[in-house]
Amino acid sequence: MSLTLRVDGERWRAHLLATATRHPGIVPVAKGNGYGLTLGRLARRAQWLADHVERTGARLDMLAVGTYDEVGEAASRYDGDLLVLTPWRPFGAALDLDARTTSRVVHTVSRPEDLTALLERDPDARFVLEQLTSMRRHGMTRRDLAVAADVVRRHGGERGGLRGVAMHLPLNTTSHLGEVSRLVNDIVASGLPARTVFVSHLTHDEHARLATTYPDFTVRPRIGTDLWLGDRGALSVSSTVLDVHEVERGEAFGYRQRSAPKHGHIVVVSGGTAHGIGLEAPTGDQSFKARAATLARGGMDAVGFVRSPFSIDGKQRLFAEPPHMQASMLFVPSGARVPRIGEDIEVRVRFTATDFDRVVID
């Protein structure tokens, strides 16, 4: 009856352990919808991972969360440090932490004036300074970093709360090494007493190269997707067929009372907008000529049906109308096998945008 994420537990846990072992100093990232697995589950799993990794002599002493609003949920399930990825600002949720939780938090500071404001409020605050990268999301320029270095110097220098520098890099660029080298040089030039760099989206190879180039720096990878979702074969998503109705050409159906373009079946499946199921891009080539050709062939997309993420017998089916809150209506033209009520069908989802009814870990 549900939109379900099934996890092959043994395989998933093996992947988590292998990833943590391959990336010494890893900071797992648990944020948002927990990559589909829920934040609470990931925080508990990070604790499990920390316990296992420690037995091998390595450490996993820090978990990253996305926002200050997520700190509480992670803090009750994971007992190490909590790095907040959203930069600290002198307003909002960052100021609402209770004293006990605050002592476990490592803030991300992305503007020199925020560093001054944070240390005025909490002289014992622990923090990383974020550098501006080619992402241009948050972070300090070379000049900002020099200003922040002065603030750090006035607040205890290397005995103060500085825990390192953070860089958030774009995905899949040719190589990050040039950019990272430039940023590391900026750290050195700023005189900051920081030799730990928290990075995202470096390849294993890039990590190794950096370790060789900057032997006095410790590079700590922040990893979410490749950790939790890195072994896709361990994850499968299914939706349940809830109802099936035969329709003749011209018969009306759905909220919009559209009429069936030809004989077939309306198949109602679990999963809708509340789960994050959305309309997919229209099928194929949308040029006028292509549409005319499809129309001539009697293709469904030509009558305005849009591709859905649901597949039956390996064939991606079209939405009969836009997804509803918790269910979706698909159109299965005659000739194709009609699934039975109760049958599970496959769904392709973006894990970071999907809330499952159930996550089943075998």
Asked if 29 is part of the footprint of ligand PLP (rule: CB under 6 A), the reply reads yes
Q: What is the DSSP string of 14-38?
A: HHHHHHHHHSTT-EEB--TTGGGT-
What is the maximum alpha-carbon separation in the chain? 78
Q: Which of 102, 200, 270, 294 binds ligand PLP (CB under 6 A)?
A: 200
**Number of residues that make up the chain:** 362
Asked if 224 is part of the footprint of ligand PLP (rule: CB under 6 A), the reply reads yes
Q: Which of 74, 83, 85, 106 binds ligand PLP (CB under 6 A)?
A: 85
Asked if 168 is part of the footprint of ligand PLP (rule: CB under 6 A), the reply reads yes
Of 29 and 320, which has the nearer Cβ to ligand PLP? 29
Of 31 and 104, which has the nearer Cβ to ligand PLP? 31
CB 248 within 8 A of CB 265: no
Round to whole Å and give the CA distance between 143 and 121.
24
Give the shortest CB-222-to-ligand PLP separation in angstroms.
4
Asked if 222 is part of the footprint of ligand PLP (rule: CB under 6 A), the reply reads yes
From 17-25, 203-211, 223-231, 307-315, give the range in contact with ligand PLP by CB under 6 A: 223-231
Round to whole Å and give the CA distance between 152 and 147.
9
Round to whole Å and give the CA distance between 109 and 116.
10
The SS3 assignment for 200 reads strand
Round to whole Å and give the CA distance between 243 and 1.
11
Nearest residue relative to ligand PLP (C-beta): 224
Asked if 176 is part of the footprint of ligand PLP (rule: CB under 6 A), the reply reads no
CB 300 within 8 A of CB 331: yes
Of 4 and 200, which has the nearer Cβ to ligand PLP? 200
Q: Which of 225, 236, 259, 283 binds ligand PLP (CB under 6 A)?
A: 225
Which residues form the interface with ligand PLP (CB under 6 A)? 29, 31, 85, 168, 200, 222-226
